[in-house]
Amino acid sequence: MKALLVDDEKHVRDAIRLLVNWKQYGIETILEAQDGESAIDMVNTHHPEIIMTDMMMPIMNGVKLLEWLQTHAPDSKTIVISGHDDFSLLRHTLKYGGTDYILKPIDPEQLNEALDKAIQAWNKDEELRHTNRELNIEMNQIKPMYWDKLLSNLIAEPSAYDQAAEQLEKEFHLSRTTRECRVAILSLDTMERSVKNKFSHNLDLLFFSLINICNEFLINDQRGYAFRHWNSDNEIVLLLWKDQSGSEAFLAKINDGIRTALHTRVDFGIGSSRSFPTDLALSYQEARDALRQRNLKSKETWIHSTLNTAKTIQPALTFSQYEERIQLAIRSGSIDQIQETIQAWMDAVKLSEAITLEQLDHWWREYRVMKRRWVQQFFSNISEDQVKQLLLDEPSSLIVPLDEYGILSLSLWQQELTRSIVHLSKLLLESQQKDKSVIFEIAEFLEKHYHEDVSLQDIANRFYLSREYISRKFKQEFEVNLSDYLGQIRMSKAKVLLRNPHLRISQVAEMVGYQDEKYFSKVFKKLEGLTPNEYRKTANSI
């Protein structure tokens, strides 16, 4: 803390210095002035918390100084030290915020009590100021969110206007007599890539900057208000309730401001003038349709309405028309074949006179559905959670492939589509190789353990696979089911053992995994056409 001693007599200032233990009160700096004017200079420069002043001084006296302090330094606490026992001076001290009036000669105890009282008063006020600052900061953070929510709700529920009308008029000068309004939407979908990259780690800052720029124009002109739409991730909504016929030109002016501040322009969709607040939703939908139906292949304007959107009637092009070709390319594992198939799709897309955001979104959703279906077909043994894991590389919503100027880039889209499909093809190939490897491991296990009582369930438990999956994959790989494959191994081993005349048929049966000699003989005859005895006689006679 700082203290300022104001008195035209130096010995008085020196006495005050000596009579107070300043450090005890947390006062580290003691300033001095010999009159009111010098004191004002000190206050403006150093902003002392505590001021002790005489009343009778040349140039500017204490009476005038107190008046100045109340206006220009109201947070400071002032103690008057005077040689005049005058009620009018005391009254003046209290009127202009003085905390105490001490008479000369100075009593040390009175001085310290007065100082302690002044410091406590300053600390109490400072605590209150701090609380108010915190509340103001919090309110400034919450307030935009409050308006975002209220105005977003107003579009969906016009009946909410009656309760908010007084607040809206006070805050935005939105008169209760307003009968019509237009809705515009600022879209981040087609913003230049360089700007998106700059704010990629703090999208909220980008929204904050854009909304501030919009409102700098709107609020200053009392023309409307811009807010972040609660029901959309990428929309800033502008309500325009003044001079609606000039709204397009005004949006262009805002866009120039955005260009100056952020070195980019943005697309606006704007709806027609509608009844306020009952038909806000209609104007909002028109603005949204204007953005979704604009032609992304060209950039003729930044301000879009349903009057100038792409209206070209053309044959419907769907992703599903290419599904079979793409699926075959994925199964082939050939990057060249995948690239050729995607090129065929892109060639068909390029023939379209116009490509809208609506059309892109439809294609993207088609591809998402097809890819999920492919994953379920290709990896039939995996759970739903594993399916979701394999689809994690896909964004949860459409990301429009744009060049650095914010225009649709078919080459970027082609690259991303090819990357996605090549990735899926590689996953399929790795899965097939892994499946093939485990099936051969099972076959090797059967070669080594044919003499044991091995069931399909035992193998499933050992290799952590389902019985159905093992049966299907084993048949695909060896063109014979697992039990027959095991039987073939056992018969092959049995034929070698039967050549040994010292082994009984029952011993041979047991050695190849059959505990029942009769069952062994039945299976042997079914597969070899001879009984074990007949085979032994025939083999040994050769």
Domain ranges within the chain, ordered by starting residue? 2-128, 157-304, 319-426, 435-541
What's the predicted TM-score (pTM) here? 0.55
Which helix (H) or strand (E) segment is 532 a member of? Answer: helix 532-541
pLDDT for 311 beyond 70: no
Residue that the structure tokens 């026992």 belong to: 85
The percent of residues in the chain predicted with pLDDT above 90, rounded, is: 47
Contact between residue 238 and residue 224 where contact means Cβ atoms under 8 Å apart: yes
According to the CATH classification, is domain 2-128 in 1.10.3720.10? no
Q: Which residues pair with 182 in a beta bridge?
A: 240
- Cα distances (Å, whole numbers) of residue 393 to 156, 271, 309, 396, 470: 34, 36, 33, 9, 29
pLDDT of residue 315: 56
pLDDT band at 296 (very low <50, low <70, confident <90, very high): confident
Question: 134-148, 261-275, 282-296, 469-483: lowest mean pLDDT where?
Answer: 134-148
For the chain, give the number of residues: 542
User: 270: exposed, middle or buried (C-beta count within 10 Å: 0-12, 13-18, 19+)?
Assistant: buried
pLDDT of residue 387: 61
pLDDT one-digit tens code per residue, 312-355: 545 578 888 899 999 999 888 899 999 999 999 999 999 888 88
- What is the CA angle 349-413-373, rounded to 5? 85
pLDDT band at 260 (very low <50, low <70, confident <90, very high): very high
pLDDT of residue 32: 95
Q: If DSSP states are collapsed to H, E and C, what string results for 106-162?
A: CCHHHHHHHHHHHHHHHHHHHHHHHHHHHHHHHHHHHHHHHHHHHHHHHHHCHHHHH
SS3 call for 367:
helix
pLDDT of residue 295: 87
From 3.30.1490.20, 3.30.70.270, 3.40.50.1010, 3.90.600.10, which CATH number describes the 157-304 domain? 3.30.70.270
How much is the average pLDDT of 489-517? 90
DSSP 319: G
- Cα distances (Å, whole numbers) of residue 413 to 149, 289, 464: 35, 23, 40
pLDDT of residue 34: 93
pLDDT of residue 139: 56
pLDDT of residue 133: 76
Contact between residue 184 and residue 217 where contact means Cβ atoms under 8 Å apart: no
How much is the average pLDDT of 22-40? 93
pLDDT band at 65 (very low <50, low <70, confident <90, very high): very high
Ranked by mean pLDDT, which of 173-187, 290-304, 383-397, 444-458 comes out on top? 173-187
Return the CA Rg of the chain: 44
Q: Which residue has the higher pLDDT, 297 or 76?
A: 76
pLDDT of residue 434: 66
Backbone torsions φ then ψ of 413, nearest 5 degrees: -65, -40
Architecture of domain 435-541: Orthogonal Bundle (1.10)
pLDDT one-digit tens code per residue, 108-146: 999 999 999 999 999 999 998 888 777 765 655 567 788
Q: Which residues pair with 80 in a beta bridge?
A: 53, 101
SS3 call for 83:
coil
pLDDT of residue 372: 86
pLDDT for 364 beyond 60: yes
pLDDT for 443 beyond 70: yes
pLDDT one-digit tens code per residue, 382-415: 666 666 666 666 666 677 787 766 678 889 889 9
Q: What is the mean pLDDT of the chain?
A: 87
pLDDT band at 253 (very low <50, low <70, confident <90, very high): very high
How much is the average pLDDT of 3-16? 94
Q: How far apart are CA 344 and CA 336, in angstroms?
A: 12
Domains 157-304 and 435-541 share a fold: no
pLDDT of residue 236: 95
Tokens of 428: 């399929």
pLDDT of residue 395: 65
How much is the average pLDDT of 27-35? 94
pLDDT of residue 426: 86
